[in-house]
A and B are shown apart, each in its own frame.
Chain A
Amino acid sequence: MNTKLRKILPKAGFWLLVTVIVLFAVFPFYYAILTSFESGSGLFQVNYLPESVTLANYISVFKGQAFGHNIFNSVFVSFMVVALSLLLGVTASYALARVKFAGRGLLLLTILSVSMFPQVAVLSGMFELIRGVGLYNNMFGLAISYMMLTLPFTVWVLTAFMRELPRELEEAAVMDGASPWIIIRRVFLPVMWPAMVTTGLLAFIAAWNEFLFALTFTLTDDKRTVPVAIALISGASQHEMPWGNIMAASVIVTLPLIVLVLIFQRRIVSGLTAGAVKG
């Protein structure tokens, strides 16, 4: 009896721990979805199972403000950030991983240290810069400022990945008459897909969820991105917080991320295991 208990107890403890972790991680999302389908006074009653399901919140989000426009802005900025960071990341990582030059290590460290500063620390300086080049209240201004968040890890991850690619692969291309740009585009890029998808996705998420820069560098409703728009959703009166609308909007903007991850899931997994077995 005692030995049986001794076998079961650790197992039970393990599963209890798993349950607690899963609950802790998933509950906020579950509650957001639940709330988004409720309306009126139902919003303020605590319940853990759906009672009344209504799409009213979803409809009113689009009716109350230019939410469709905000989504478009977010998509536009995020895709631009992904494209720019991957382009700069890949070219920079080729140089950092493949070309020997003085100060390479220092440069890598500098790039890393950029990501150490909290956004608030650079906010005022960045604001001056953005306004100085005339990109205030402009999607391009946002995209460029987001580079500060995405480029450090993009460059680092791609550099690490590029270092692992066999030297002979590059030399074979050199013998075939390929220039560095051709090597990057036609030999390395296809091989680096998994790393690009992973870093690209992370950059997309970072840009999609960014709040502080988006709030500071935009002025008018039609230039705002989704996170700012959600934060600024207001109710009928000053004292009413439209939780239903906020939750509905949050669910809407989370969906694209989930879809993206699902689409690229295979690529990410194959990217993680690619180096494990030599082809």
Chain B
Amino acid sequence: MANVVLKQVRKRFGPVETIHGVDLDIRDGEFCVFVGPSGCGKSTLLRLIAGLEDITDGELSIGGDVVNDIAPKERGVAMVFQSYALYPHMSVFENMAFGLDLAKHSKDEQKARVMAAAKTLQLENLLDRKPKELSGGQRQRVAIGRAIVRKPRVFLFDEPLSNLDAALRVQMRIELAKLHEKLNTTMIYVTHDQVEAMTMADKIVVLRDGRVEQVGTPLELYHYPANLFVAGFIGSPKMNFISANVAQISQHSVTVKLESGKEVSLPVDGSGLAPADRVTVGIRPEHCSIADQDTALFTGTVEVVEHLGEAGLVYVRTGSDDLFVVRVAGDTAIKNGETVGVAAAEQDCYVFDGADMAKRRLAVDNAPLKAQMTLN
């Protein structure tokens, strides 16, 4: 049990700096997810915490102790790797007991701990098998078991579900969430999949190019993204962006003029904006609807309709380079080539200034979000 605190942590590989001064405070027992596109430094950050890479500059402390120069095994952390990295010549039991054996625990102690972990993970019948005789999901569980038996203060997961098929991934996601609830240990989890981040995390850290873009609860990130990057990264399908000009600013709203000529008044904090400023308006696909041409924000031609079953995705060409995605009911009758209007409620729109920073939204009303925000 321990919190993890990073202060201005930097990592340089030769002349190339990949982590540019990260500050982070992960509380005890928290499920923290590092998310970002590939190459954003999330795995490097995890490896710095694990001790597999040396920290170039800054300070890392686990449970109050600065651990910059402490060997991985003494940090009290356990790691689950993307490829599982099970020892191929050892049985499941030996795989899990290896770390305990190295730490000179007695055979009885080893057996008791492995059995307990095996029970938690439903591996009791597989203890004599070799890794190559296991399925992907089972290997994954052994890898997690190997981490559990050491009773670490912090669990580290490096994209642990990316090698599993979709159905198994959902199942393991739930099992991991349950495991976290049961062990109540600090967990740090790296993924490039925003769905995993949204569903599992207490706290999400969005990274880009070795910098923290935003830290927050899943719903905080969804409703109050700090900037254009986070807004585009969180949510699926990703948020639509259209450019607009500021027409008028009042205390509780900003009126913008869209490229279609339509003027809308959006309830966001307009401080820092001036009339005629160029801004970006963001609208999530699930907040849009197909509307009459006179109530619509703009019109366009339907290019593709994807039927997902419970919903449909309509891709509307609006004249600009990007397709605008609208999430509609699953039984939609809209066809390719139709000209449609797209509408959205004012309070569901996001506004980003010229530097891509978000303007605070003022009309968000969401009970779970408030609950999550009081947690922090």
Contact = CB atoms under 8 A, between A and B. Distances in A.
B131 A279 contact: yes
A107 interface: no
B82 A191 contact: no
B81 A176 contact: no
A190 interface: yes
Contacts of A22: none
Nearest to A176: B99
Interface string B75-100: 00111011101111100000000110
B52 A178 contact: no
B73 A175 contact: yes
Given A177-B73, A177-B102, A182-B102, A171 B85 contact: yes
B72 interface: yes
Contacts of A177: 72-73, 99, 102-103
Given A175-B72, A176-B73, A279-B131, A191 B88 contact: yes
Interface string B301-336: 000000000000000000000000000000000000
B50 interface: yes
B370 interface: no
Contacts of A176: 73, 98-99, 102, 146, 150
Given A172-B81, A175-B50, A190 B99 contact: no
A169, A171, A176, A182 — most chain B CB neighbours (10 Å): A176
Given A176-B98, A182-B102, A168 B89 contact: no
A40 interface: no
Most buried by B among A175, A177, A187, A191: A175
Given A175-B50, A176-B146, A182-B102, A168 B85 contact: yes
Contacts of A178: 98, 102
Interface residues of A, number: 17
B73 A168 contact: no
Interface centre among B85, B99, B150 (most CB of A within 10 A): B85
Given A190-B89, A279-B88, A174 B52 contact: yes
Interface string A160-174: 000000101101111
Interface in B222-251: none
B20 to A, nearest CB: 23
A173 B72 CA distance: 10
Contacts of A174: 51-52, 72-73
Interface in A69-96: none
Interface string B191-210: 00000000000000000000
B77 A175 contact: yes
A178 B146 CA distance: 14
Nearest to A169: B85
A59 B131 CA distance: 54
Contacts of A175: 50, 52, 72-73, 77-79, 99
28 contacts: A168-B82, A168-B83, A168-B85, A171-B52, A171-B81, A171-B85, A172-B85, A172-B146, A173-B98, A174-B51, A174-B72, A175-B50, A175-B52, A175-B73, A175-B77, A175-B78, A175-B79, A176-B73, A176-B98, A176-B99, A176-B102, A176-B146, A177-B73, A178-B98, A187-B87, A190-B87, A191-B89, A279-B132
Interface residues of B, number: 24
Closest CB pairs A-B (n = 8): A177-B73, A176-B99, A168-B85, A172-B85, A190-B89, A279-B132, A168-B81, A177-B102
A182 B50 CA distance: 19
A78 to B, nearest CB: 27
A171 B51 CA distance: 10
Nearest to A179: B102
Nearest to B79: A175
Given A175-B78, A175-B99, 12 more contacts: A166-B83, A169-B87, A171-B52, A172-B81, A173-B98, A175-B52, A175-B73, A176-B73, A176-B99, A177-B73, A177-B102, A279-B88
Interface string B211-230: 00000000000000000000
Interface in A194-212: none
B81 to A, nearest CB: 5
Interface string A120-154: 00000000000000000000000000000000000
A190 B131 CA distance: 14
A178 B98 CA distance: 9
A172 B79 contact: yes
Given A174-B72, A175-B78, A166 B85 contact: yes
Contacts of B99: 175-177
A191 B78 CA distance: 23
Contacts of B82: 168
A70 B81 CA distance: 54
Interface in B61-83: 72-73, 77-79, 81-83
B48 to A, nearest CB: 13
Nearest to A174: B72
Nearest to B73: A177
A74 B58 CA distance: 60
A169 B146 CA distance: 13
Contacts of A186: 98
A182 B88 CA distance: 16
Nearest to B156: A175
Contacts of A172: 79, 81, 85-87, 146
A175 B50 CA distance: 8
Nearest to A279: B132
